[in-house]
Structure 1
Amino acid sequence: MACCHHYFEPTEGGDNAFSVDASSITFGRGCLAEAGTVARALGIGRIAVMTDKALRGQPFFEKVEKALTAAGVDVAVYDEVKVEPTDESFQAATRFAAESKADGFLSLGGGSVIDTVKAASLYATYPADFLTYVNAPIGEGRAVPGPLKPHIACPTTSGTGSECTGIAVFDLLAMKAKTGIVSRALRPDRALVDPDVTASLPANVVAASGFDVLSHALESYTAQAYTKRKAPGDANLRPMSQGANPWSDLGCREALRLLGIYFARAVADADDAEAREQVMWAATLAGIAFGNAGVHAPHGMAYSVAGLVRDFQPDGYPDAEPLIPHGMSVIVNAPSVFRFTAPACPDRHLEASGWLGADLRGAGEGDAGEVLSSQIVALMRQTGMPNGLSGVGYEETDLAPLTEGAYPQRRLLDNAPREISRDRLTDLYRDALAYW
Structure 2
Amino acid sequence: MNFNMYVPTRILFGPGELNNLHEQKMPGKKAMVVISNGKSTKTNGYLKRTEEQLKLAGVETVLFDKVEANPLKSTVMTGSDIARVNDCDFIVALGGGSCIDASKAIAVMATNNGDYWDYIPSGSGKGKPVNNKPLPVVAITTTAGTGSEVDPWAVVTHEENHEKIGRGGDDTFPVIAVVDPELMTTVPPKLTAYQGFDALFHSVEGYVSKGVNLMSDMYAITAIENVSRNLEKAVKDGNDLEAREKVAFGSTLSGVVESVGLCTSQHALEHAMSAFHQELPHGAGLIMISKAYFTHLINKQACDDRFVKMAQAMGMGDAKEPMDFITMMENLMEDCGVSNLKMSDYGIKPEEMETLAKNAKETMGFLFDTDRVELSIEDCVAIYEASYN
- Measured in 1, the distance between the counterparts of 2:89 and 2:163 equals 33
- Measured in 1, the distance between the counterparts of 2:342 and 2:310 equals 21
Per-residue CA deviation, residues 190-246 of structure 1 (Å, 9 max, x unaligned), is 11111100111100110000000010010001011xxxxxxxxxxxxxxxxxx2221
Deviates more, 1:291-300 or 1:104-113: 291-300
Per the alignment, residue 254 of structure 1 pairs with 222
Per the alignment, residue 119 of structure 1 pairs with 105
Query: Aligned to 1:152, what secondary structure does the other structure show?
Result: strand
- The one-letter amino acid of 2:356's match is L
- The one-letter amino acid of 2:327's match is S
Per the alignment, residue 278 of structure 1 pairs with 246
Quote the offset at 1:164 in angstroms. Answer: 1.1
Give the one of 121, 124, 128 matched to 1:138. Answer: 124
Per the alignment, residue 323 of structure 1 pairs with 279
Per the alignment, residue 20 of structure 1 pairs with 5
Per the alignment, residue 376 of structure 2 pairs with 421
- Call closer, same or farther: CA 1:250–1:391 in 2, change over 3 Å: farther
Deviates more, 1:24-33 or 1:385-394: 385-394
- The one-letter amino acid of 1:42's match is M
Confirm or deny: 8 A CA contact 1:414 1:420 kept in the other structure. no
Per-residue CA deviation, residues 37-56 of structure 1 (Å, 9 max, x unaligned), is 32xx2341111111124213
Give the one of 309, 314, 338 matched to 1:351. Answer: 309
- Measured in 1, the distance between the counterparts of 2:116 and 2:132 equals 17
1:191-340 paired onto structure 2 within 5 Å: 191-224=177-210, 243-309=211-277, 323-340=279-296
Query: Aligned to 2:94, what secondary structure does the other structure show?
Result: strand
Quote the offset at 1:359 in angstroms. Answer: 6.0
- The one-letter amino acid of 2:386's match is D
Per the alignment, residue 361 of structure 2 pairs with 407
- Measured in 2, the distance between the counterparts of 1:379 and 1:393 equals 26
Per the alignment, residue 160 of structure 1 pairs with 146
- Call closer, same or farther: CA 1:43–1:84 in 2, change over 3 Å: closer
Quote the offset at 1:401 in angstroms. Answer: 2.0
Instruction: Determine if the alignment matches structure 1 residue 103 to structure 2 residue 56.
Output: no
- The one-letter amino acid of 1:336's match is A
Quote the offset at 1:125 in angstroms. Answer: 0.5
Confirm or deny: 8 A CA contact 1:109 1:157 kept in the other structure. yes
Instruction: Give the TM-score, by structure 2 length.
Output: 0.93
Confirm or deny: 8 A CA contact 1:42 1:150 kept in the other structure. no
RMSD of equivalent CA atoms: 1.8
Per the alignment, residue 237 of structure 1 pairs with none
Confirm or deny: 8 A CA contact 1:144 1:183 kept in the other structure. no
- Call closer, same or farther: CA 1:261–1:338 in 2, change over 3 Å: same
Per the alignment, residue 29 of structure 2 pairs with 45
- Measured in 2, the distance between the counterparts of 1:302 and 1:190 equals 29
Confirm or deny: 8 A CA contact 2:228 2:332 kept in the other structure. no
Instruction: Give the TM-score, by structure 1 length.
Output: 0.83
* Residue segments in structure 2 that go unaligned for 5+ positions in a row: none
Per-residue CA deviation, residues 104-159 of structure 1 (Å, 9 max, x unaligned), is 11110001111111111101111123321113243122332243222110011011
Quote the offset at 1:374 in angstroms. Answer: 2.8
- Call closer, same or farther: CA 1:56–1:100 in 2, change over 3 Å: farther
- Measured in 2, the distance between the counterparts of 1:256 and 1:426 equals 28
Confirm or deny: 8 A CA contact 2:71 2:156 kept in the other structure. yes
Instruction: Determine if the alignment matches structure 1 residue 383 to structure 2 residue 336.
Output: yes
Per the alignment, residue 394 of structure 1 pairs with 348
- The one-letter amino acid of 1:71's match is A
1:75-114 paired onto structure 2 within 5 Å: 75-114=61-100
Per-residue CA deviation, residues 31-81 of structure 1 (Å, 9 max, x unaligned), is 11222232xx23411111111242133222211111111222111111122
- Measured in 2, the distance between the counterparts of 1:398 and 1:103 equals 43
Confirm or deny: 8 A CA contact 1:177 1:306 kept in the other structure. no
Query: Aligned to 2:32, what secondary structure does the other structure show?
Result: strand
Quote the offset at 1:420 in angstroms. Answer: 1.3
Per the alignment, residue 372 of structure 1 pairs with 325
- Measured in 1, the distance between the counterparts of 2:71 and 2:228 equals 30
- Measured in 1, the distance between the counterparts of 2:341 and 2:282 equals 16
* Residue segments in structure 1 that go unaligned for 5+ positions in a row: 1-7, 9-16, 225-242, 310-321
- Measured in 1, the distance between the counterparts of 2:65 and 2:368 equals 34
Confirm or deny: 8 A CA contact 2:209 2:372 kept in the other structure. yes
- Measured in 1, the distance between the counterparts of 2:332 and 2:288 equals 12
- The one-letter amino acid of 2:366's match is R
- Call closer, same or farther: CA 1:389–1:416 in 2, change over 3 Å: farther
- Measured in 2, the distance between the counterparts of 1:43 and 1:269 equals 37
